Structure 1
Amino acid sequence: MTAPERTHFQRLIGAVASAPPVVIAVAHPCNAAALAGAVDAAQAGIITPLLVGPRARILAAAQAAGFDLSAYAIEDTEHSQASAEQAVALVRAGRAEALMKGSLSTDELLAAVVRRDTGLRTGRRLSHCFVMDVPGHAKPLIITDAAINIFPTLEEKVDIVQNAIDLARCLGIETPKVAIVSAMEKVNPKLQSTVEAAALCKMADRGQITGALLDGPLALDNAIDPEAARIKGIAGPVAGEADILVTPDLEAGNLLAKSLAFLMGADSAGIVLGARVPIVLTSRADTVQSRLASCAVAALVAQRRKASAALAGALDG
């Protein structure tokens, strides 16, 4: 009897687990779901969690869930806002290479991240990517933005696209194929998303977006299905072969990602990019596989950034 084929995420988790674990500051892990993501990833050899929050609440949540936290450091704080600020401070001090959301709100964590003087801002806008492992699909799909930018402008979409491209390259996709998706594949001045899709493609032609092949507007079917693209007469290297789906707005991206998860049984890894370090966002509804994959993606991004910084330092020296 042959062994079942490994999923995309299983291969990713296996690859990352063979490298040294990445230290992740977990902000306010004060319930079972938040602790489970960190503990599962630590036991898989993906991360070393640095738990940041009220010690008594963390230990009480661990005891109730049956988790042994004796191997993990805890940074004691008073409340969730202090947990977010301290987790960011640990990254700034070089004690952590990534962030992970615990049981505080996403807004509270990101407020500490984007704070001008003490946060982790860069020249890029923050954006969210779902990496989706869809049963039956030949490769993982990156969907952006489905969690942060509600109605992104064209200028903001440039950063959203570039963040997703950089993520895809960290995942080993040398030249990602980016589909700017809309309800149709023709530019229609009455549908703003099609106009912005065309503008993004032209910006890529002029070097304002780099490292990928862009096409759009593309409807979803002819972005991911080669036969649909062939029937509609849409040619080009991206049509039917997209690695990245850039949706018109958060609502469309969130609906697409959750439709794949709950109707197709896809696993998803959620990560925020555009800060100095990757930020893991997990949900209470996530499967163990999704939690592990989210940490694995963040670990891979952190490892690649560390390697790039070391190479740059060696060249400068």
Structure 2
Amino acid sequence: MNDPNYIENRTFDELKLGDSASISRTLTAEDIKLFALVSGDVNPAHLDPDYAATDMFHRVIAHGMWGGGLISAVLGTQLPGPGTIYLDQSFRFRRPVGLGDEITATVVVKEKRPDKQIVILDCRCTNQLGEEVITGEAEVIAPAEKVRRRRVELPDFRLATHEHYRRLLERVRGGTPLPTAVVHPCDPAAIAAAIEAHDAGIVMPILVGPRRRIEAAAQEAGADISAFELVDAPHSHAAAHTAVAMVRDGKAKLLMKGALHTDELMGAVVCRENGLRTERRISHAYVMDVPGRAEPLIITDAAINIAPDLDAKADIVRNAVDLAKVIGIATPKVAILGAVETVNPAMPATLDAAALCKMADRGQIEGAILDGPLALDNAVSVEAAREKGIVSPVAGCADVLLVPNIEAGNMLAKQLTFLGNADAAGVVLGARVPIVLTSRADSLRTRLASCAVAVLLARAATLAAPGLPQAAE
């Protein structure tokens, strides 16, 4: 009786002419990238179908992955199975293999040579239409002793493809780069971030800060900034206020944080007399690219509001809903997080969650589906929600996570980043213009994604998209 938890061989003496075995697998984009990762072969002819002829692209994958891999898997696990020694192979690649093709590899015993226990097997791979992809034969030494072993459980490996960020960048490319006031870019990392966004066709940087320090940072970074406007300001405080004034005057459509503290930049933004406040509470959101998730995950607020009250949380949700819609989530599902999924008067976060849900029911928060309180596992895991008997359109499939305070948001985002191999693109919402927050520790991919999110928000505001905050009087 076959047990899927075990693999068992067939010895040379047990094999008969005509014996066969097969295995099937569907080719995915992740398979191709994993193959490149293991082999080290990053030739664009293999990985970029836009670069190479489609036929050549797919033939390379067929040669490398399915030719050796699937047939070897049949020989090593089924026929003859464990203990088999692979000696030689001869294959012909007859047809391209495309993404989504289901390939079945079959081996058939063709010849036995008793003197050295050598077995010749016909090998054949076909696609889901029954068309031959690979034909040929393999030569092996069959095992002499019977082997039965528990099947090795492979790790749950997830490749960080950053597909969400790639799509964001594709959406912003091709438009007019937005004039962006880069505040106090006085270190090489800040200069590099501005240049990277410019070279990607996303923004047109306006460098605001002490001229000599900016020029010295550019020289240290080996960067040419001669094409950019440079607005001299004596120090970081003045640079922040100058950049805000440029936005108010219509000279800049975005703000981008350089080498200054976030609270110093935000002090100029929230200034009541000449800042960039709107009718909304200003908040921060991370757009997380989490391996294994089909869509981006928004975490808010992890950088601006320390301990938001109910009114502040309502605006934080509204800002996050606007962001979710701009990045392509038509009806965002918002999970209001707490330590438990029941309302407990001793835990204020659960009371706020219940109130926010009722506000959504009454139309005070529009354009999204809210539920809470939900513990984190119930918000992102369908299995966890089902185990606890939670029936909700949000549980297990949240697009937005509203955290109870800044500590929870900061820790959650950094746990995903440093332990879960996620990327976090940060943007400040609720001001007259989006504000890009980048860190020296951010990767190029994350910095560009932060700029892309801000550009999408700015374009939506230019088109007067319903629901985006209006300037305060």
2:369 alignment partner AA: L
Q: Which runs of 5+ in 2 are unaligned?
A: 1-26, 34-160, 467-473
Q: How does 1:1-317 map to 2 (within 5 A)?
A: 4=33, 7-308=163-464
Contact 1:197 1:217 in 2 (8 A): yes
Give 2:42's aligned residue: none
Contact 1:269 1:293 in 2 (8 A): yes
Give 1:313's aligned residue: none
- Shift in alpha-carbon separation, 1:135–1:6, aligned structure 2, 3 A: closer
Contact 2:162 2:289 in 1 (8 A): no
Deviations 1:157-216 (A, max 9, x none): 111111111111111111110000111111111111111101100011111111100000
Give SS of 1:302's match: helix
Contact 1:25 1:99 in 2 (8 A): yes
For the residues of structure 1 that align with 2:305 and 2:168, how far apart are their CA atoms?
27
After TM superposition, give the deviation of residue 18 of structure 1 in Å: 2.5
CA root-mean-square deviation: 1.4
For the residues of structure 2 that align with 1:185 and 1:152, how far apart are their CA atoms?
20
After TM superposition, give the deviation of residue 128 of structure 1 in Å: 0.4
After TM superposition, give the deviation of residue 309 of structure 1 in Å: 6.8
For the residues of structure 1 that align with 2:417 and 2:379, how far apart are their CA atoms?
19
Instruction: Report sequence identity in percent.
Output: 62
Give SS of 1:179's match: strand
For the residues of structure 1 that align with 2:162 and 2:418, how far apart are their CA atoms?
21
TM-score (norm 2): 0.64
Deviations 1:85-136 (A, max 9, x none): 1100110111111101111111111111111121111111111001100111
Is the strand fraction higher in 1 or 2? 2
- Shift in alpha-carbon separation, 1:96–1:222, aligned structure 2, 3 A: same
After TM superposition, give the deviation of residue 71 of structure 1 in Å: 1.5
For the residues of structure 2 that align with 1:66 and 1:90, how far apart are their CA atoms?
28
For the residues of structure 1 that align with 2:351 and 2:162, how far apart are their CA atoms?
40
1:61 alignment partner AA: A
Give SS of 2:225's match: coil
For the residues of structure 1 that align with 2:162 and 2:319, how far apart are their CA atoms?
28
- Shift in alpha-carbon separation, 1:172–1:309, aligned structure 2, 3 A: closer
Give SS of 2:464's match: helix
Q: Which has the higher contact order (CA 8 A, sep 6+)?
A: 1
For the residues of structure 2 that align with 1:110 and 1:163, how far apart are their CA atoms?
17
Aligned length: 310
Deviations 1:211-253 (A, max 9, x none): 1000000111110111111121111211111000000100000
Contact 1:25 1:87 in 2 (8 A): yes
Give SS of 2:293's match: coil
Deviations 1:247-302 (A, max 9, x none): 01000000000000000111111011111000111111111111000000000100
For the residues of structure 2 that align with 1:97 and 1:116, how far apart are their CA atoms?
20
For the residues of structure 2 that align with 1:65 and 1:227, how far apart are their CA atoms?
48
For the residues of structure 1 that align with 2:167 and 2:285, how far apart are their CA atoms?
19
For the residues of structure 1 that align with 2:277 and 2:378, how far apart are their CA atoms?
36
Give 2:41's aligned residue: none
Deviations 1:129-157 (A, max 9, x none): 01100111121100000001111111111
Larger radius of gyration, structure 1 or 2?
A: 2
Contact 2:162 2:291 in 1 (8 A): no
TM-score (norm 1): 0.95
Q: Which runs of 5+ in 1 are unaligned?
A: 311-317
